[in-house]
Amino acid sequence: MYDPKSHIIDIATLIYSRFLSDSAGGNISLRHEGRIYVSPRYMGSKYRYRIVPEQISVLDAALEVVEGPRELSREVRMHLAAYTHFPEVGSVIHAHPRWLMVYAAAGRTMKPVLEYTIKFGDVECIPEAPAHSQDLADGVVAVAARRRAQLQQYALGILLPRHGIAVLGHDLDNAYDSLERLESNARCALLSRLLPPEEAT
């Protein structure tokens, strides 16, 4: 039997152990059977992504907390905006991956350079917006609305300037898989620039 809380805990462990986020922040949510499950506030800074089921908040269809802590993750606006506007979204991961953070810090779009990231297209960076703000959530929704065909078919990564990345997926496994692929793309795109020019033959 599927257990959404255990799934979030498993993915949180993977994210932190594989350097897909850091102690400065990040959050995970999923939608299952009409309810939204959200990782706890300060999951990185207080708990280093080591969380237990009792720390996960559960929201009903009216977005009211029905189980778990009532104090939600500070970035919850972005998660709830994605679920409200896009019924195909079943999970949102916000993270601070080591290599993708270079693009976020520079406010630069990331091009796909690997065969398995071509399907994601360009990973765009939204306009500057304060962390935890409605403007940030609105920026994510604007990109997702414009690129909805891709979101419906695969998943969508959206860079947050000087902040991190949001990945919108059909379910939590899809969102996590997409996050890891995009991080590999960032690493290869950046390191390939260090290669010397090929010698003419």
Question: Alpha carbon of 92 to those of 106, 152, 164, 189: distances in Å?
Answer: 23, 14, 13, 24
Positive or negative: CA dihedral 115, 120, 121, 122:
negative
According to the model, what pLDDT value does residue 199 have?
76
pLDDT tens, 122-139?
999 999 999 899 999 999
Structural domains in the chain, sorted by start? 4-194 (3.40.225.10)
Three-state DSSP at 198 gives coil
Q: Which residues pair with 40 in a beta bridge?
A: 72
The pLDDT value recorded for residue 125 is: 98
Mean pLDDT across 32-41: 97
pLDDT tens-digit map of 153-187:
999 999 999 999 999 999 999 999 999 999 999 99
Q: What is the mean pLDDT of residues 92-110?
A: 98
Alpha carbons within 13 angstroms on the beta-carbon side of residue 13 total 8
